[in-house]
Amino acid sequence: MNSILFLVAVYFTFASSLKTGDDHPTLPTMWSAETIEPGAPGNGKGVEAYNFVSKPTYDNPSAIWSNYTDCQRLIYVPNNYDGRRYLLGCDAVDCCYEEQDTNQVEFQIPNVHYSNPNKKVEVSYQRTNITNFGEEIMADEWSWSWTVKDILSQEWKAYTNDCDDCVNGVELLQWTTRAMGSPWFSIQFRNFKGYELNSDEGNQFREMFAIPDICKRNNLLECSDNVKDNYSTNHVIINDKTYEGGRQSECDVARYLRNAGFPSSTIGTMVCISKYESSWNCGATNKNTDGSTDYGLFEINSYYWCSGDPTSKYNECGTSCSSLMDCQKNTNCAYKVYKEQGFNAWYGYQYHKSECDSYPAPVCEEELKSANCGTCGTAYQTCCIGFAVDGYPCDCHLQEGGSGQSGSNCGDCGTGFAACCIGYAADGYPCECDVM
């Protein structure tokens, strides 16, 4: 009997050794498990329920429940702009919220997605011993990494075992990652249970991720710093944004863009991009999974565009990363990014291309004012407002000290202004402004 068991063990060991990185499993996108997570409340022990949606919508949000000894946390992501983290019962607070930018962490092998579908992510495999909930067990180790311009930015290891009774035939035992050579960060899983998509059980499981009624109050408060420090510092907040500066209006952003040199035809699209990158907030920062940081109004990346950050290398904008918290300096750098890479340099544009391509440039009060441009100037401004409402903002502006001229590219409104000025000049009242 012992010899038979020995032969069986040898067989399974041999069978496992035949696996390669190409044989990695696909983890379920819906699961629940007991967890041990360093830094989490309750000595890191809790229970999590996970529902990952790569392109979330309000009808199908991406979400995760984390249940700890004395509080619960719901990360709710209906899209990349409206995501929130709700903390319930933490420090005796019924419910408070924090902003959640972009999607939650993707637990998948691998979780790196290249824009080029033909570019393959290399996954390595080995059989190894791990400690899971205090017990030493054998597991399949799947490892891969993310490299930017030949620099190793982030590494992952996922530990799994085959499971005949599990969804996709696999159970997740441990998830480990590190960025830029930092210490490894590991989460342990026990009693891992996956759920089939579109099954009765799966549909019932998905219903549990609804926002609780207590968190739907109109006067719901943002979580205090104390609550944030105690309950929001673990793995699910990898792509968090902090807001240190005041939010800007659309007109403020448009003014920065014009001052930076952006063509008038790009203003609406860039205002839309800033909306999804930073919520028009000059003090926004975003810590990326590769260890780099995005700064300010247009989320300028530390690795490529500025200096002074631990991850800085190329400093293409010739400025410090801290200076990018200044609205205008950030926009000036964004202009360089735009000239080199176009709108696609920003994920906010890639994910919202249709909206941003048709986003109208804001019609702002300060642009409708001129010192002494008379009846013709007022008529020109009114004409521009009408065209802007239809999505065709004027590319030309009134300038003092002129004689009623209009630039060749100033459209119907400019032509009308020039004609108006000719009429008034014939009556002895020449215009004192130009449209240029």
Give this prediction's pTM.
Answer: 0.54
Instruction: Report the alpha-carbon distance of residue 216 to residue 95 in Å, rounded.
Output: 9
Asked about 136 being catalytic, the answer comes back as no
Counting beta carbons within 10 angstroms of the beta carbon of residue 21, is it exposed (0 to 12), middle (13 to 18) or buried (19 or more)?
A: middle
- Contact, 322 vs 328, CB < 8 A? no
Nearest by Cα to 36 from 69, 61, 11: 69
Q: What are phi and psi of 176, to 5 degrees?
A: -130, 140
Can you give the pLDDT at residue 157? 96
- Contact, 396 vs 436, CB < 8 A? yes
Can you give the pLDDT at residue 345? 93
Q: Tell me which residues of the chain have a pLDDT lower than 70.
A: 1-17, 41-42, 101, 115-116, 148-151, 180-181, 226-246, 365-372, 385-393, 408
Could you give the 3-state DSSP secondary structure of residue 1? coil
Instruction: Report the alpha-carbon distance of residue 223 to residue 226 in Å, rounded.
Output: 8
Residue of 277, 290, 326, 434 marked active site:
277
- Contact, 294 vs 368, CB < 8 A? no
Q: Could you please report the per-residue DSSP string of 292-345?
A: -EEETTTTEEHHHH-BSSTT----TT-SBTGGGGSHHHHHHHHHHHHHHH-GGG
Q: What DSSP state is assigned to residue 428? A: T
Could you give the 3-state DSSP secondary structure of residue 354? helix
Residue of 240, 294, 299, 326 marked active site:
294
Can you give the pLDDT at residue 171? 97
Can you give the pLDDT at residue 422? 79
Q: What are phi and psi of 433, to 5 degrees?
A: -135, 155
Instruction: Report the alpha-carbon distance of residue 293 to residue 218 in Å, rounded.
Output: 33
- Contact, 407 vs 417, CB < 8 A? no
Can you give the pLDDT at residue 385? 66
Can you give the pLDDT at residue 234? 41
Could you give all domains of the chain from N- to C-terminal order, each with its CATH number? 30-237 (2.50.20), 250-357 (1.10.530.10), 365-435 (no CATH)
Q: What DSSP state is assigned to residue 90? A: B
Instruction: Report the alpha-carbon distance of residue 380 to residue 430 in Å, rounded.
Output: 16
Can you give the pLDDT at residue 236? 30
User: Edge-to-edge strands of the sheet including 241-243?
Assistant: 241-243, 284-287, 293-295, 300-301
Query: Token match 């009134």: residue?
Result: 398
Asked about 294 being catalytic, the answer comes back as yes
